[in-house]
Chain A
């Protein structure tokens, strides 16, 4: 059964989602960064948070990870209310553009994460291999190129045991071939049972890797669902959107 079919399955609809976000709001002064955001994340899916720069994607991810306080809203983990401290055990957030512990050797950073999370040598070696970090293991993090710094972050995420991964712009800094490799890796991670929420502003990338989408604009949700479901929402406005790309759908809905 494909994920899209599973989504339509009445059993799946009745089962509590892995994470339910209800009415999440965050204000910076008079500006509404998040205005009543609500959506569900289902186990094993790759969910894309889609929106232009400034849409509220990073704020939303940081709020989900409990890194910033919110003004209103509730988060439910498998149907039960979840505090930010509790969520630390079930989800891990990978910020955008980070060079973690930039004075440290790459292998030392990996070893730190691996030891903290009780990973074996085999698991670390497998992770290094899967993201292609082997050539830079003895380099300091601040000397890495943008692409390798991104791979290091990806490797750290893979070493964490949390079932839900939140990634901010995971393809930023990769060329076309590398992007395809990382997409394949993300699909393998999802196939192994982990759930991923990816904040992406490149709609082409999002369309290729995500199962479902949450369209964000100006801190508000403008549509949720699979691409077909989103097309169905836009069909009311224009019949020409029947075979539209995610980009067309996004422009139509926002």
Chain B
């Protein structure tokens, strides 16, 4: 036995800790069960999307205008990953909680915190294992993408990667909530209740409050589901990415604070409040970033290319005064069709919402519904929500000619009538069998011995 001495500060290898955390998740039933449940859910969703896309494609086979409306992102990927999202929301918390909850419940955490790792390192290792588990959980959805390619489907790399990034951030956010819940509760069951209260509560916020006026609308934006929406619409929003990352780091830091042993609860509460305040401030700060990139192949979040170039040349500030309530469907249309696109392309644009009250009962207000555009000392008004009427108005204010449309820039659309015969057998038979086999292999005791351990 090695002669004892006070241990000097030394570098402790991270790899064994990371491997232990990942094995801890693989050893549990939660991940494998989630994968097995995910197969038919994702598979059926993919199958349905494929069928509907095929029907639409059949009608559009000889009409270019209809074909241009067929985008695999909307038709296939968003619904397929929508099923993945539902499973991640409901089941991934159980996988993530295991990373910490099991050690807490069995008392093993008392050994872990005595190892020569900082508490923050322990949480980072657990978060890395949760991210690894998310990657494994992606298998059914990724297999759907591969099947789509095998069936001859089109896949635009950038918009697909952007969608995957959105789901990764959402998965990590759920994982961070679960780790925090596991850190503040004594049992995995309680942690699961806390996490599901947050995730399902998010859905309620989303369904019940979205479209409501005032504070309710603002509260609905706190829903975790909102994280995913811009990615599904093919937008890469820097503010959203950084804000979500800040929230993930903040939750991980809160979990770290509550894992510190030997600290009284009052001190943990004070530190947690400070951490939450800093995280909240960071999220609000980065939410101000307006950098947003349209990554879709059909450029649905942008004006036509000729207009984009012409508008990018406008250097003066544009002020838009909207006489609409935020919950008014016309404002929703205006924002989607015009305002958000203008925000992306113009260097200096200010949008003012004048009507802050509900639009119900505003029939007596003549100016309600008007949108005023002010540019370079000139103003004009419109009630339209279409870019086809508003852009010429803006060119008029800027005293510039209408741009000439660029030929050949139209999105062709990717209709596909695929034979989906293989899809259901794969998701309901072959893939679950492969997953069950991998589970069984992971449970077998490998041929390891002391001789396999590192020599030093």
> Which of A's residues lie within 8 Å of B, judged by CB?
62, 65-69, 84, 88-90, 92-93, 95, 97-105, 107-108, 111-112, 114-121, 123-128, 137-140, 156, 158, 161-163, 189, 192-194
Contacts and interface: CB of A to CB of B under 8 A. Distances in A.
Interface string B66-78: 0000000000000
A116 B1 contact: no
Given A121-B451, A163-B5, A116 B115 contact: yes
A88 B448 contact: no
A137 B449 contact: yes
Interface of B: 1-7, 9, 12-13, 15-17, 19-20, 23-24, 27-28, 102-103, 106-108, 110-111, 113-116, 261-264, 445, 448-456
Given A84-B261, A115-B13, A89 B4 contact: no
A98 B116 contact: no
Contact of B111 (A103, A123, A126, A156): A156
A193 B23 CA distance: 35
Contacts, number: 124
Given A95-B110, A95-B111, A98-B111, A115 B454 contact: yes
Contact of B116 (A84, A89, A112, A163): A89
Nearest to B4: A163
Given A67-B113, A67-B262, A123 B24 contact: no
Contacts of A126: 1
Given A93-B110, A114-B453, A115-B454, A104 B23 contact: yes
B6 A66 contact: no
Nearest to B115: A116
Contacts of B19: 112
B110 A67 contact: yes
B12 A101 contact: no
Q: Which 5 A-B pairs have the closest CB atoms?
A: A103-B27, A163-B4, A84-B262, A115-B16, A66-B262
B16 A112 contact: yes
B4 A192 contact: yes
Given A98-B107, A116-B13, A121-B455, A107 B1 contact: no
Contacts of B264: 69
11 contacts: A98-B108, A98-B110, A101-B20, A102-B108, A103-B28, A111-B452, A115-B453, A116-B17, A121-B455, A161-B4, A163-B4
A88 B114 contact: yes
A116 B13 CA distance: 6
Nearest to B10: A118
Nearest to B445: A138
A121 B450 contact: yes
A143 to B, nearest CB: 11
Contact of B3 (A125, A156, A193): A193
Given A101-B24, A115-B454, A116-B13, A88 B1 contact: no
Contact of A192 (B3, B103, B450): B3
A100 B106 CA distance: 8
B1 A189 contact: yes
A121 B111 CA distance: 22
